[in-house]
A and B are shown apart, each in its own frame.
Chain A
Amino acid sequence: MNSVADRPPHPPTSIAPPLRRRSDAPFFLVMGGISSGFILLIVLLLAADILFVSFDDFVAALKKPEIQYAFRLTLLSCTAAALLSVWVATPLGYLLSRFQFPGRMAIDTLVDIPIVLPPLVLGLSLLILFHLPVGGWELESWLRDRVGFPVTYQWPAVVLAQFTVACAFSVRTMRVTFDQIDPRPENVARTLGCTRGQAFLQIVLPQAWRGMIAATTIAWARALGEFGPILVFAGATRMRTEVLSTTVFLELSIGQLNAAVAVSLLMVLMAIVVLLILRLLGTELGS
């Protein structure tokens, strides 16, 4: 065995020059360049819209009673659809994330159907569902005549059409959220005597809060842009089921391009305000 003393001495080395720190500029240039391409596209789109429509057009559009009504209904229905979506998406996302059960794959696939289904077909499917006679019984007739709650071509149809699509996006978001939450803390809680429900409410839910805000945001935004299913299932009746997305379509149909763009800009403003509020809410709760 060679002792340390037997080892040949290290050749004398000169002091290495300090590692030259390269600039990060190219990194940020490439990343920023690619990112800014998309940002620029959106900004240019908005700028084109703003240049196309005059301020007077915008004000004139806002003064129309039917657009004011559509604005109110849009705000109310989108919020209702988003809240409903999160209420449904939270348990469904959790079950899909945490448990293996028969038919899980099928349910996982079914949840995505509203996302892949062409919007008009989704509306038509809702319409068929509510008007399909089954042995002389029809859901819409029953709701209208027995329950006193007509759905088709009424405001509930707007909410339902928005909810059907928005919820699918929420479920996806919530599932990813729960996937990313370590199950160990809730398992530990259960070993300490918590029921599964207590573990979910006290351990999982507080951790999932940011995901829930994200799911609400996505659902709200998706509901805002919903158009095809509403048109088919709820119709576009003035001062009744007309929301801003259908207003844009209707204004385009009669050649009122300025009004259509003005309403679109109103939707953008509305979305910015609501989404900012939701983000602030998320930050507040997260803290």
Chain B
Amino acid sequence: MNRPLLWMLGSIVVLGLLITTMAGVNFSSQTTSTDGQPPIVLYCAASNRAVMEAIRERYEDEYAREIQIQYGPSQTLLSSVDVSGAGDLFLPADDSYLKLAQQKGLIREILPIADMQVVVAVRRQDAENIQSLDDILSDSVKLVQASPETAAVGKLVQQTLQQSGQWDDVSAATVAYRATVTEVASDIVVGAADVGFVYDAVLHTYPDLVAVELPELKPAVSRVAVGVIDQSKQPTAALHFARYVSAKDRGLIQYDQQGFQTAGHDVWADVPELSVFAGSMLRPAIEDTIAAFEEREGVTVNRVYNGCGILVAQMQAGQHPDAYFACDQEFMNQVHDLFPQPVQVSQNELVILVQKGNPHNIASLKNLAREGLRVGIGHEKQCAMGWITQNTFREGGVQEEIMPNVTVQTPTGDMLVNQLQTGSLDAAVAYLSNAAGAGEFLDAIQITGIECSTAVQPWAVNKESSHPETASRLFQKICSTESQEIFAAEGFRWRLESDEIR
């Protein structure tokens, strides 16, 4: 056998050894979870590597769950997520990529982490010479920018300066466009450029560079956020780590140290407990959604359903839920100091509920004043429905005539429905949603011509909540298409615009 052939055959043995070694090296490098669960796979922008490695290390120590992180450029990672459909979390350099991914249906939940301000980067010794936009536009200054086509920071600078009418001058003064923000910073470090637009957080790893803040760039702020990949096979575990990354007393400590702007956010809890107060009428519309949210997120939602008057009294007595879903705006107004930013989600109409077939021929509010009728309504102090009912009676000019027939005032509409079913009432004034599950034995008669007979349901998160982000995600779940369908089926009309959902 000739020597070359011998060597070639020998190379097969070498190849086998190489493959065995690589497999061995890889397997030995894996940290296995104590519970044998698969690792959480995170696609992470390379710019977040330093901070993410520190968080990963701490998380693995605390929970013995392996985190596998793939670093790369955000757009490349997005393509990988798109093509492979694998992985659990995606953390790009800024949230514009998450929005793009969400449009493609690749991302479910988004958890905000930190903000980044666009600033002018300049070498420390040149900082005195660069104080304004005019200084940057000087002929003697070499300006480089991240490309608006490839980098979010470039796009943000372009949008901001276009709005102030300064983009054309800045664009004309730019000597080169770079693909990424780190290339811009590196150019300035090595002296290829004098100034460039970068995120303030980027400069943390460039000790030779300093940031100059320009008033023109004040609105140029980007956000770092982590998204849960839609096809994740372990969303609860993924969300657990995502919550850890975005918790103010866990991951955000690292982000803060790296120069990112972190404010607000949740306090860390292994299994967060969220308390939600909601009007009883909303229970059928939101209960299933909340249960699904609990299961997916691995959190506990302590919900309290009751008449809104009672709930408001409890809150005024010192109970502070994380979120409040009121039956009507009026009750939200009463706790405005706790919930300063409510959004109106849905509306519900008052109707007259009667036995199936309408044996008493009731056609309008006025008919409820007939002698001998047993009428049930909500309690005006205990629930929004009772309060609105009284307003409606007043507006309709029938309050004094009907009230003698009112035999019961309950704190919730469900109780009225029950009493109608048992035959202890002939008619009741309740929400259309109260009758949604009782269509077989009740008829609903519309109240027409009186505007105030419609209740509007607002949602708000407590400004003192220790889990505002989790509460916001619950709200996003309540605003999902599936949830809106449940609202419609329960007799509610959806009124929140999609751009108001936060």
Residues of A at under 8 Å CB distance from B?
A: 69, 72-73, 76-77, 79-80, 83-84, 86-87, 90, 120, 124, 127-128, 130-131, 140, 152-155, 159, 201-202, 205-206, 208-209, 212, 231-232, 235-241, 246, 249-250, 252-257, 285
List of 5 A-B pairs having minimum Cβ-Cβ separation, nearest first: A253-B46, A255-B205, A235-B70, A80-B18, A239-B29
Q: Is the CB of B14 within 8 A of A153?
A: no
Q: Is the CB of A69 within 8 A of B29?
A: yes
Q: Given the interface contacts A69-B25, A76-B18, A155-B23, does A87 sit within 8 Å of B4 by beta carbon? A: no
Contact partner of B70 (CB less than 8 A), chosen from A153, A253, A254, is A153
CB-defined A-B contacts under 8 Å, sample of 28: A76-B18, A76-B21, A76-B22, A80-B18, A83-B15, A87-B12, A124-B79, A128-B83, A131-B86, A153-B70, A155-B23, A155-B26, A201-B2, A202-B2, A209-B4, A235-B71, A237-B68, A239-B29, A240-B26, A240-B29, A249-B46, A250-B71, A252-B186, A253-B45, A253-B49, A253-B182, A254-B182, A255-B204
Nearest CB of B to A51, in Å? 12
Residues of A contacting B45 in the complex (Cβ-Cβ under 8 angstroms): 253
* Interface presence of B206 (CB below 8 A): yes
Q: Is the CB of B189 within 8 A of A257?
A: yes
Q: Is the CB of B47 within 8 A of A253?
A: yes
Q: Given the interface contacts A253-B46, A253-B47, does A120 sit within 8 Å of B76 by beta carbon? A: yes
Q: Is the CB of A152 within 8 A of B4?
A: no
Q: Is the CB of B70 within 8 A of A237?
A: yes
Residues of B contacting A79 in the complex (Cβ-Cβ under 8 angstroms): 14, 18
Nearest CB of A to B192, in Å? 12
* Interface presence of B341 (CB below 8 A): no
Q: How far is the CA of A90 from the CA of B11 in the complex (A)?
A: 14
Residues of A contacting B25 in the complex (Cβ-Cβ under 8 angstroms): 69, 72-73, 76, 155
Q: Which residues in chain B, 40-92, are within 8 Å of chain A measured between CB atoms?
A: 41, 45-47, 49-50, 53, 68-73, 76, 79-80, 83-86
Residues of B contacting A77 in the complex (Cβ-Cβ under 8 angstroms): 22
Q: Given the interface contacts A205-B4, A238-B53, A285-B7, does A131 sit within 8 Å of B29 by beta carbon? A: no
* Interface presence of B502 (CB below 8 A): no
* Interface presence of B144 (CB below 8 A): no
* Interface presence of B185 (CB below 8 A): yes
- New A-B pairs, 20, CB < 8 Å, besides A131-B86, A256-B205: A76-B21, A76-B22, A76-B25, A79-B18, A80-B19, A87-B11, A130-B84, A131-B84, A201-B5, A202-B2, A205-B5, A206-B2, A235-B71, A235-B80, A236-B70, A237-B70, A238-B53, A240-B26, A250-B71, A253-B47
Q: How far is the CA of A155 from the CA of B79 in the complex (A)?
A: 20
Q: Is the CB of B205 within 8 A of A240?
A: no
* Interface presence of B278 (CB below 8 A): no
Contact partner of A238 (CB less than 8 A), chosen from B69, B186, B189, B206, is B69
Q: How far is the CA of A209 from the CA of B83 in the complex (A)?
A: 42
Residues of A contacting B8 in the complex (Cβ-Cβ under 8 angstroms): 86-87, 90, 205
Least CB separation from A241: chain B residue: B70
Q: Is the CB of A254 within 8 A of B50?
A: yes
Residues of B contacting A80 in the complex (Cβ-Cβ under 8 angstroms): 15, 18-19, 22
Q: Is the CB of A254 within 8 A of B205?
A: yes
Nearest CB of B to A55, in Å? 20
Interface size on B, residues (CB 8 A): 49
Least CB separation from B1: chain A residue: A201
Least CB separation from B48: chain A residue: A254
Least CB separation from A131: chain B residue: B84
Residues of B contacting A285 in the complex (Cβ-Cβ under 8 angstroms): 3-4, 7
Residue interface mask B167-208, A partner, CB < 8 A = 1: 000000000000010100110011000000000001011100
Secondary structure at the A interface, as helix, strand, loop or mixed, is helix
Residues of B contacting A241 in the complex (Cβ-Cβ under 8 angstroms): 70
Least CB separation from B205: chain A residue: A255
Residue interface mask B26-43, A partner, CB < 8 A = 1: 100110000000000100
Residues of B contacting A153 in the complex (Cβ-Cβ under 8 angstroms): 41, 70, 84, 86
Secondary structure at the B interface, as helix, strand, loop or mixed, is helix
Residues of A contacting B29 in the complex (Cβ-Cβ under 8 angstroms): 69, 239-240
Nearest CB of A to B296, in Å? 24
Least CB separation from B77: chain A residue: A235
Q: Is the CB of B4 within 8 A of A255?
A: no
Q: How far is the CA of A201 from the CA of B189 in the complex (A)?
A: 57
Residues of B contacting A140 in the complex (Cβ-Cβ under 8 angstroms): 84
Least CB separation from A242: chain B residue: B71
Nearest CB of A to B364, in Å? 60
Q: How far is the CA of A128 from the CA of B84 in the complex (A)?
A: 7
Contact partner of B14 (CB less than 8 A), chosen from A83, A209, A235, is A83
Q: How far is the CA of A241 from the CA of B25 in the complex (A)?
A: 11
Q: How far is the CA of A87 from the CA of B15 in the complex (A)?
A: 11
Nearest CB of A to B210, in Å? 14
Residues of B contacting A202 in the complex (Cβ-Cβ under 8 angstroms): 2
Contact partner of B2 (CB less than 8 A), chosen from A130, A205, A239, A249, is A205
Nearest CB of B to A83, in Å? 5
Residues of A contacting B72 in the complex (Cβ-Cβ under 8 angstroms): 231-232, 235-236
Q: How far is the CA of A239 from the CA of B53 in the complex (A)?
A: 12
Nearest CB of A to B150, in Å? 12
Nearest CB of B to A41, in Å? 18
Nearest CB of A to B480, in Å? 27
Residues of A contacting B206 in the complex (Cβ-Cβ under 8 angstroms): 255
Least CB separation from A140: chain B residue: B84
Residues of A contacting B50 in the complex (Cβ-Cβ under 8 angstroms): 254
Q: Which of A76, A140, A153, A254 neighbours the largest number of chain B CB atoms within 10 Å of its CB?
A: A254
Residues of A contacting B5 in the complex (Cβ-Cβ under 8 angstroms): 201, 205
Residues of B contacting A86 in the complex (Cβ-Cβ under 8 angstroms): 8, 11
Residues of B contacting A238 in the complex (Cβ-Cβ under 8 angstroms): 53, 69, 71
Contact partner of A127 (CB less than 8 A), chosen from B2, B21, B68, B84, is B84
Residue interface mask B107-148, A partner, CB < 8 A = 1: 000000000000000000000000000000000000000000
Residues of B contacting A69 in the complex (Cβ-Cβ under 8 angstroms): 25, 29
Residues of B contacting A90 in the complex (Cβ-Cβ under 8 angstroms): 8
Contact partner of B4 (CB less than 8 A), chosen from A127, A212, A240, is A212
Residues of A contacting B46 in the complex (Cβ-Cβ under 8 angstroms): 236, 249-250, 253-254
Q: How far is the CA of A238 from the CA of B71 in the complex (A)?
A: 8
Nearest CB of A to B42, in Å? 10
Residues of B contacting A256 in the complex (Cβ-Cβ under 8 angstroms): 205
Q: How far is the CA of A149 from the CA of B106 in the complex (A)?
A: 26
Nearest CB of B to A54, in Å? 15
Contact partner of A152 (CB less than 8 A), chosen from B21, B86, B185, B186, is B86
